[in-house]
Amino acid sequence: MPQAAKPHVSQQIAVGVFLCTLGIAGCQAGGAGEPSEPKAAAERAIEPNRPKIVVLGDSITAGLGIRLDRAYPARLQERLDAEGYPFKIVNAGVSGDTSAGGLSRLDWVLEGDVRILILALGANDGLRGLPVPEMKRNLSTIIQRATERGIAVLLTGMEAPPNLGETYTSQFRDAFRELASECDIVFFPFLLQGVAGVSTLNQSDGIHPNAEGARIIADHIYSYLRDMLPEISEP
């Protein structure tokens, strides 16, 4: 399995700036890029027999500030189609969402023939300084419910703002690693690897990835996802 490098200190600082505005930007955008349950239902109706990969996340996943077809879930779909895989990517990103929010909508998100869940939540928990054990419990429950349905899980990690202190940021980072080990699931340690803090890969707000940044995120995730596909592909 590919191993992602540990985030550089400069990237951790950049993530702190990113997180300090992430939830605010999501609220100001009025839910831009936020998928609605009716829309998800419509997608299911259009392609009822196509197995799905659900990406459960926040504004990064939702593609806040860029066209939906340039968000990283759409880029993942392009890679799957190009390599002949039958899966349909479902973008279940909601701007400003926390691990608790993701858990609250999990049942309808996992409706239908879902084969893989890409779990990309936690950034807004860190932004708000929510208790790490609470976040870890929410994510653990999501993972457990998915695996009970026979759904494979790919967990992506995130960094907490450095202004919350070394103890919190370390516990926050470790929570993702511990979950991956305890639940024996595929793990990509840092969702914004190679993108955080790089001005040319982010929008003018310096926070959210632009189309090229989203493409890089998709490339990193796909390097993990691709290894999972033979095991869950249709015969």
> Token pair for residue 20?
């300090």
Write the DSSP assignment of 110-132 as a string of letters.
T-SSEEEEEEE--HHHHHTT--H
At residue 119, φ and ψ (nearest 5 deg) are -100, 110
Cβ neighbors of 41 (< 8 A, separation 6 or more) are none
Considering the candidates 69, 174, 184, 205, report the single residue annotated as catalytic: 205
CA 128, distance to chain mean position in Å, is 18
Q: Which of 59, 95, 97, 99 is catalytic?
A: 59
- Active-site residue 205, yes or no? yes
Query: Which regions of 58-138 does DSSP assign to beta strands (E)?
Result: 88-93, 114-120
* 69 carries an active-site annotation: no
**What's the rounded Cα separation, in Å, for the pair 229 and 152?**
10
Contact 58, 123 (CB under 8 A): yes
Catalytic center residues = 59, 205, 208
